[in-house]
Structure 1
Amino acid sequence: MSEIPVIAIFDVGKTNKKLFLFDEQYRIVFERTARFTETTDEDGAPCENLESLRLSVFDSLREVFRRKDLVVKAINFSAYGASLVYIDEEGRPLTPLYSYLKDYPIALGEQFYQQYGGEQAFSIQAASPVLGSLNSGMQLYRLKHTRPEVYEKVKYALHLPQYMSYLLSGVACSDITSIGCHTNLWDFQQNNYHTWVIKEGVLEKLAPLFSSGEVMPAAFPGNSYVVGTGLHDSSAALIPYLVNFQEPFVLISTGTWCISLNPFNDTPLTDEELAADCLCYMTFQGKPVKASRLFAGYEHEQQVKRIADHFNQHPGRYRNVEFDSNVIQQLKERNKREDTLLTSHPELLQVTVFGQRDLSSFASDTAAYHQLMLDIANAQYLATKRVLKGSAVKRVFVDGGFSKNAIYMNLLAAFFPEMEIFAASMAQATAMGAALAIHTAWNSKPLPNDLIALKYYSATHDVTF
Structure 2
Amino acid sequence: MKDELTLVIDIGKSHAKLLMFNDAGEVVERHGRDNRSVPSALGYPALDVQGLEDWMSHTLGASPNTVRCSRVMTSTHGAALVGLDETGLAWAPLDYEFDALAKHPVWAREFEDAADAFAQTLSPDLPAGLNAARQLFYVQHAHPQAWQRTRHLLPYPQYWAWRLCGERASEVSSLGCHTHLWLPQAGEFSQLASRQGWAALFAPVRSAWEVLGTVRPQVSQTWGLPPHCVVHAGVHDSNACLARYLESLNRDATTSTALTVVSSGTWTVLMAPGASTQGLQAERDMLANVDVLGRATPTARFMGGREFECLLAGADPEAGSLEDLQSLISGAVMALPSFAAHGGPFRGREGSIRCGSKAFADAGSAGLAAGQRAALAALYCAQTTAWLVERLWSGSALPRTVLVEGPLARNALYLGALQGLMPAARCLVSLDPVEGTARGAWMLSRWGQSTAADVMPVEALSVAGLGEYHAAWQRALV
TM-score by length of 2: 0.83
Instruction: Identify the residue that residue 435 of structure 2 maps to in structure 1.
Output: 428
In the alignment, which residue of structure 2 is the partner of 1:303? Answer: 311
**1:236 shift after superposition:** 0.4
Matches within 5 A, 1:35-434: 35-36=34-35, 38-42=37-41, 45-64=44-63, 66-67=64-65, 71-90=68-87, 92-106=88-102, 107=105, 108-116=107-115, 122-131=117-126, 132-218=128-214, 219=216, 220-221=219-220, 222-245=226-249, 246=252, 247=255, 248=257, 249-270=259-280, 273-304=281-312, 307-308=313-314, 315=315, 318-324=316-322, 326-335=323-332, 352-354=351-353, 356-357=361-362, 359-362=364-367, 364-391=369-396, 392-426=398-432, 427-434=434-441
Change (3 A) 1:226 1:337: closer
Residue type matched to 2:202 in 1?
L
1: CA distance, partners of 2:153 / 2:170: 9
CA pair 352-25 structure 1, distance change in 2 beyond 3 A: farther
**2:451 aligned partner:** 448
By how many angstroms is 1:357 displaced?
3.7
Task: Describe the shift of the 1:134–1:338 C-alpha distance in structure 2 as closer, same or farther (beyond 3 A).
Answer: closer
Let me know the Cα RMSD of the aligned residues: 2.7
Matched residue SS, 1:133:
coil
Identity of aligned residues (%): 22
Measured after TM superposition, the shift of residue 284 of structure 1 is 0.7
Instruction: Say if 1:419 and 1:168 are closer, same or farther in 2 by CA, change over 3 A.
Output: same
What secondary structure, in the 3-state scheme, does the structure 1 residue paired with 2:82 have?
A: strand
- What CA distance in whole angstroms lies between the structure 2 residues aligned with 1:275 and 1:256? 21
Q: In the comparison of the two structures, how many residue pairs are matched?
A: 433
Structure 2 gap ranges (5+): 221-225, 337-344, 354-359, 468-478
The alpha-carbon deviation at position 98 of structure 1 amounts to 1.2
User: 1:347 and 1:229, CA in 2 relative to 1: closer, same or farther beyond 3 A?
Assistant: closer
Q: In 2, are the aligned partners of 1:299 and 1:351 still within 8 Å (CA)?
A: no
Q: Aligned equivalents of 2:422 and 2:321: distance in 1? A: 17
Find the counterpart in structure 2 of residue 460 from structure 1.
462
Q: Which range moved further: 395-404 or 92-101?
A: 92-101
Task: State the secondary structure of the residue aligned to 2:4.
Answer: strand
Aligned to 1:34: 33
Cross-structure match for 1:312: none
Q: Which amino acid aligns with 1:274?
A: A
CA contact (8 A) 2:266 2:305 kept: yes
What CA distance in whole angstroms lies between the structure 1 residues aligned with 2:321 and 2:73? 38
Kindly state the Cα deviation for residue 32 of structure 1 after the two structures are TM-superposed.
1.0
1:130 offset after TM fit, Å? 0.3
Supply the distance in 2 between the matched residues of 1:337 and 1:280 (Cα, whole angstroms): 30
* 1:38 CA displacement: 3.8
* CA distances 1:172-212 after superposition (whole Å, capped 9, x unpaired): 11000100110100123433111121111111221111112
**Does the aligned pair in 2 maintain the 1:72–1:223 contact within 8 Å?**
no
**Whose helix fraction is larger, Structure 1's or Structure 2's?**
1
Deviations, residues 64-103 of structure 1 (Å, cap 9, x unaligned): 4x439x722210100002111211111x213223111111
Q: Is the 8 A contact 1:11 1:431 kept in 2?
A: yes
Letter in 1 for 2:407: G
TM-aligned CA distance change 1:157 to 1:336, over 3 Å: same
Task: Spell out, residue by residue over 1:232-268, the C-alpha distance to the aligned partner (whole angstroms, 9 max, x if none).
Answer: 0010011112234535411111000001110121333
- Of 173-182 and 186-195, deviating more is 186-195
SS at the partner of 2:99?
coil
- Give, in whole Å, the separation in 2 of the partners of 1:356 and 1:67: 50
Q: What per-residue deviation string (whole Å, max 9, x for no partner) do you get for residues 360-390 of structure 1?
A: 4435221233223323322222222211224
Counterpart of 1:23 in structure 2 is: 22
CA distance in 2 between counterparts of 1:363 and 1:171 reads 54
* Alignment partners' CA distance in 2, 1:183 and 1:62: 35
SS in 1 for 2:317: helix
Unmatched runs of 5 consecutive residues or more in structure 1: 309-314, 340-345
Residue matched to 1:311 = none
Could you list the per-position Cα deviations for residues 292-330 of structure 1 after superposition, in whole angstroms to 9, with x for gaps in the alignment? Answer: 0101101222332xx33xxxxxx5xx2323431x43333
State the 1:55 CA deviation: 2.1
The CA distance in 1 between the partners of 2:17 and 2:80, in whole Å, is 18
The DSSP-based 3-state class of the residue aligned with 1:297 is helix
Would you say 1:6 and 2:10 are equivalent positions? no
Please report how far the alpha carbon of residue 60 of structure 1 lies from its aligned counterpart in structure 2 after TM superposition. Answer: 3.5
Deviates more, 1:240-249 or 1:156-165: 240-249
Q: Distance in 1 between matches of 2:368 and 2:195?
A: 60
- Which stretch of the first structure deviates more once superposed, 415-424 or 54-63? 54-63
Q: Matched residues in 2 for 1:176 and 1:86: separation? A: 17
**Using a 3 Å threshold, how does the CA distance of structure 1 residues 338 and 235 change in structure 2: closer, same or farther?**
closer
Inter-CA distance 57–382: structure 2 relative to 1 (3 Å threshold): same
Deviations 1:51-72 (A, max 9, x none): 11122233334344x439x722
